[in-house]
Amino acid sequence: MKSWAQLVADTVRMGGVLVFIKDQAPQDFPEWLQSLNDSFGMKIPISVRNKSDFATGRFHTGAHDLIFFFQGQESVLAALDSHVQGQRVWISSQPQNLNIIDYNWHVGDLAAWTSFWSTLASQFDALVENWTTSEMDHAPCLFLDRDDVVVKNVPYNKDPEQVELIPEIVQLIRQAHEHGYWVALVTNQSGIGRGRISWQEYKKVHQRMLKLLSEQGAWIDDCVWSSFIENEGVPEGRLLAGLRKPRAGMFQLVKEKLKVDMAKSIMVGDSATDLIAAYSAGVGSCYLFKSVKFDQERETLEKFRAGNSKFSYQAILAASDISFGRL
């Protein structure tokens, strides 16, 4: 590993966590952890877990996390192989040849470990700030609401046979791809959170929509949905409030996954919440698709614009009214 300092900085920059497991850790493990905390305090997110937390599903690691294992934790590492996602680091003066680790950190002993974190503290901010993704090819995205934009609205639809595409949506999606755009669906689905639709029923409707698109040579690159609706009786209805429009969470998920150029992106929705969420996420062009609630939605958007001078949108009658910029 060329630079442990840069790996730690990159992990933090991407939202990762430094994870340690207590089972079979060295007797002086609290001192190793304390030296890290002494140098960084709250600047680096740290999690200390038990093996059972992973095995029972109470705790999950992510792709950006660094999970540390010490010499003596070989059996822990082997037992958690299918449970621990992310980047696995073996800490020891002796190399570990197991093929289920990613990095060997020959830090040696507690003194060397403490020295590393103490030295890193002085350069950490610069390492994080110098983060670059210039090698990524950022492309814009056509964001679409689902009901009354991609398919005709059937309230709490659980019947795949009732799925009907909106006229011109196939051509719009094709055009977006021809211009080099991603296409992503971002849709509030409160029926799941209210317990009106089961997950299996939603999946069947969703897959029917994708099938109808594919039959005409159109596809959606990413699909995100929010079931949050402040419903304590249904788990899906009380979790992940930040995803539900007008919050920008779904857009942010797509941005991070597809490396989206938000300023050049487009949102097409039939409600004020669609466009407000897109604006909050930095989407450059917003279109309000005409529906039965058109006048009400425009009134809400005008009130929002009164307090947000940079917000703008265009009301359209058909998908053909949307124009794509040159890349």
225 DSSP β-pair partners: 187
Question: Inter-axis angle of helices 29-40 and 110-129, to 10 degrees?
Answer: 30
The position carrying tokens 């037992």 is: 79
Q: Is 147 a catalytic residue?
A: yes
Q: Are 147 and 223 in contact (CB under 8 A)?
A: no
Q: Is 67 exposed, middle or buried (0-12, 13-18, 19+ CB in 10 A)?
A: buried
Tell whether the torsion through CA atoms of 101, 103, 104 and 105 is positive or negative.
negative
The residue annotated as part of the active site, out of 145, 261, 270, 274, is 145
The residue annotated as part of the active site, out of 65, 147, 261, 274, is 147
Q: Quick one: which of 269, 258, 177 has its CA closest to 217? A: 177
Which residues participate in catalysis according to the annotation? 145, 147
